[in-house]
Amino acid sequence: MPKIKIAKKSPSLDMTPMVDLAFLLVTFFMLTTKFRPDEPVIVDQPSSISDIPLPDKGVIMITVDKNGRVFFNVEGQQIRIDILNKMAERFNLTFDDKEKKRFAVLASVGMPMSDMKAYLDASDNDRKKMNLETKGIPIDSTNNELNFWINAARNVAPRFSLAIRGDRDADIPSIKRVISILQDNKANRFALITNLEGAGVVEEPKN
Amino acid sequence: MAQVQEQEGGQEKGKHKKVRAKRSSTHIDMTPMVDLGFLLLTFFILTTTFSKPKTMDITMPVKDKVTEEEKTKVPASQTMSVLLTADDKIVWYMGEDDPTKPPETHVADFSQDGPASIRKVLLEKNKLVFDKVKQVEDSVRNGLIPDKEDEIKRHKAQVKAAEKKGLIVLIKPDDSSKYKNLVDILDEMLVCNVARYAIVDLSDSEKELIKNSQQ
């Protein structure tokens, strides 16, 4: 009987194409990822059928969390420093360069100006704790700091659009108050940030 | 020059004593690198979120002192007031808010097609405009209007603005309602093609209406 010869095959495969593809994907994801600084509050946005995307740049964002606390955010480091300078001038405060730099790289801030210095000097962990305990930017008519923030931001960056990022369970009086402050600043057009209906909940960075 | 000299020196040495170059394979073990590559790939895939937040544009009126005569009068028959109240409930009525003659109120909710769905009410009241917008969509399908997004949007906006007899909705969120309710009702305005709507404060008599309707 003739012996059947089994062809000897090397067990190693050529993985080059797969590896090439993997690295291509790595490059793609590395270049497209934008790391956001930690948001101090978790906001569960309501959903809507509106599909207008939020512009990447040039948005002054006011966050209202479910307890009605108000936070303020603008992107752009130089712009943030300019705004902080304006606020410092108005409240007769001085911030040193280190504090300004710290402010420039933070995300939303929800501190009354009286606590701002302590907030910027605090360590990262302490800052997280302060974010949990803060009452947000004051919006009462007697102590309307949000008004000054918006005013400063509009002065520094007049072309920026305004957006309100509210939590589903935020109470109407706070929202109305924020809208009214925007109107006081002659900002009558603004956007409400929502999720696309059926798109599920966008993951928020957890603190 | 220096290089050439070195080479010559090397050759001469070779004549005396043969140096056998070690034969090493040109293959490098790439496994660790590939492992790392995949690790990074997994990390970036998991941390990337592609869904960008969407926005809903709203325009509020300029906040100036407006005298009673300057106020835009809206025909009462076309006006619908939608009061947002606690527990996702809606109280709505047609016509004017007249404390002396309380209007007939109805209760509705945010369901899409329940028995008390606000969408049904809005669609019915706004049939005039809604049908016209539908006609635009039909003519897109028939090729009368080019199938381009901004073109369609422009046509729809035109149709909406042209219809003077369309429904006017006054959205009045009560303090007990949530932000979610406000966004939901604004969403319904988009769905039902309501051309004219505004967010307005509640009057005292309307707070009374809410109380009465909940009993």
CB–CB contact B53 A182 (8 Å): no
Q: Does domain B76-126+166-214 have CATH number 3.30.420?
A: yes
Q: What is the pLDDT of residue A11?
A: 78
Q: Using the predicted structure, report yes or no on whether residue A132 has a pLDDT greater than 80.
A: yes
| Percent of chain A at pLDDT exceeding 70 | 92
- Residue A194 has its nearest CB partner, among B47, B56, B191, at B56
Chain B residue with Cα closest to A167:
B179
Instruction: Please state the rounded mean pLDDT for residues A159-179.
Output: 87
Nearest to A79 by CA among A146, A150, A158, A156: A156
What does each C-alpha distance from A100 to A22, A104, A118 come to in angstroms? Answer: 41, 6, 13
* Structure confidence by residue, pLDDT tens digits, A143-157: 888 888 888 888 888
Given CB atoms, is B30 within the 8 Å cutoff of chain A?
yes
Given CB atoms, is B51 within the 8 Å cutoff of chain A?
yes
Q: Using the predicted structure, report yes or no on whether residue A100 has a pLDDT greater than 70.
A: yes
Chain B residue with Cα closest to A169:
B178
Cα B151 from Cα B140, distance rounded (Å): 10
Specify which residues A53 forms β-bridges with. Answer: B54
Burial annotation B41-64 (CB, 10 A radius, 16+ → b, else e): beebeeeeeeeebbbbebeeeeee
Q: What is the pLDDT of residue B6?
A: 46
Given CB atoms, is B180 within the 8 Å cutoff of chain A?
yes
Computed over every residue of chain A, the mean pLDDT equals 82
The neighbour count for residue A150, using CB atoms within 10 Å, is 23
Q: What is the pLDDT of residue B66?
A: 62
Nearest to B168 by CA among B40, B73, B58: B73
Q: Which residues of A touch B177 (CB under 8 A)?
A: 172
Given CB atoms, is A178 within the 8 Å cutoff of chain B?
no
Q: State the complex-level ipTM.
A: 0.75
Burial of B209 (0-12, 13-18, 19+ CB in 10 A): buried
Pick the most confident of A55-59, A70-74, A202-206: A70-74
Q: What is the pLDDT of residue A1?
A: 63
Chain A residue with Cα closest to B191:
A49
CB–CB contact A50 B40 (8 Å): no
CB–CB contact A48 B183 (8 Å): yes
Could you write out the DSSP letters of every residue in chain B? -HHHHHHHHHHHHHHHSPPPPP---S----HHHHHHHHHHHHHHHHH---PPPEEEEEEPPP-----TTTSPP--GGGEEEEEE-STTEEEEEES---TTSPPPPEEEES-SSSTTBHHHHHHHHTHHHHHHHHHHHHHHHTTSS---HHHHHHHHHHHHHH-TTS-EEEEEE-TTSBHHHHHHHHHHHHHTT--EEEE-PPPHHHHHHHHHHH-
Say whether A195 sits in a helix, a strand or coil: strand
Q: How confident is the model at residue A106 (pLDDT cuts 50, 70, 90)?
A: confident
Q: Which amino acid is at A156?
A: V
Candidates A20, A202, A203, A204: best to mutate against B (most CBs of B within 10 A) is A202
Chain A stretch 135-164, residues whose beta carbon is closer than 8 A to a beta carbon of chain B: 163
- Residue A50 has its nearest CB partner, among B40, B41, B56, at B56
Place of tokens 């303090």: B175
Residue ranges for chain B with pLDDT beneath 50: 1-14
**All residues at 6 or more sequence positions from B102 whose CB lies less than 8 Å from its CB, including other chains:** B205, B208, B209, B212
CA distance B192 to chain A (A): 12
The alpha carbon of residue B134 and the mean position of all alpha carbons in its chain are separated, in whole angstroms, by 21
Q: What is the pLDDT of residue A206?
A: 39
Q: What is the pLDDT of residue B215?
A: 61
Q: What is the pLDDT of residue B15?
A: 52
Given CB atoms, is A112 within the 8 Å cutoff of chain B?
no
- Residue B190 has its nearest CB partner, among A15, A50, A191, at A50
Domain ranges in chain A? 47-196
The neighbour count for residue B203, using CB atoms within 10 Å, is 13
**All residues at 6 or more sequence positions from A141 whose CB lies less than 8 Å from its CB, including other chains:** none
Burial of B113 (0-12, 13-18, 19+ CB in 10 A): exposed
Cα B108 from Cα B92, distance rounded (Å): 7
Residue B183, φ and ψ in degrees, nearest 5: -65, -40
Cα A164 from Cα B56, distance rounded (Å): 10
CB pairs under 8 A between A and B: 142
Given CB atoms, is A196 within the 8 Å cutoff of chain B?
yes
Candidates B30, B179, B194, B199: best to mutate against A (most CBs of A within 10 A) is B179
Instruction: Please state the rounded mean pLDDT for residues A33-40.
Output: 72
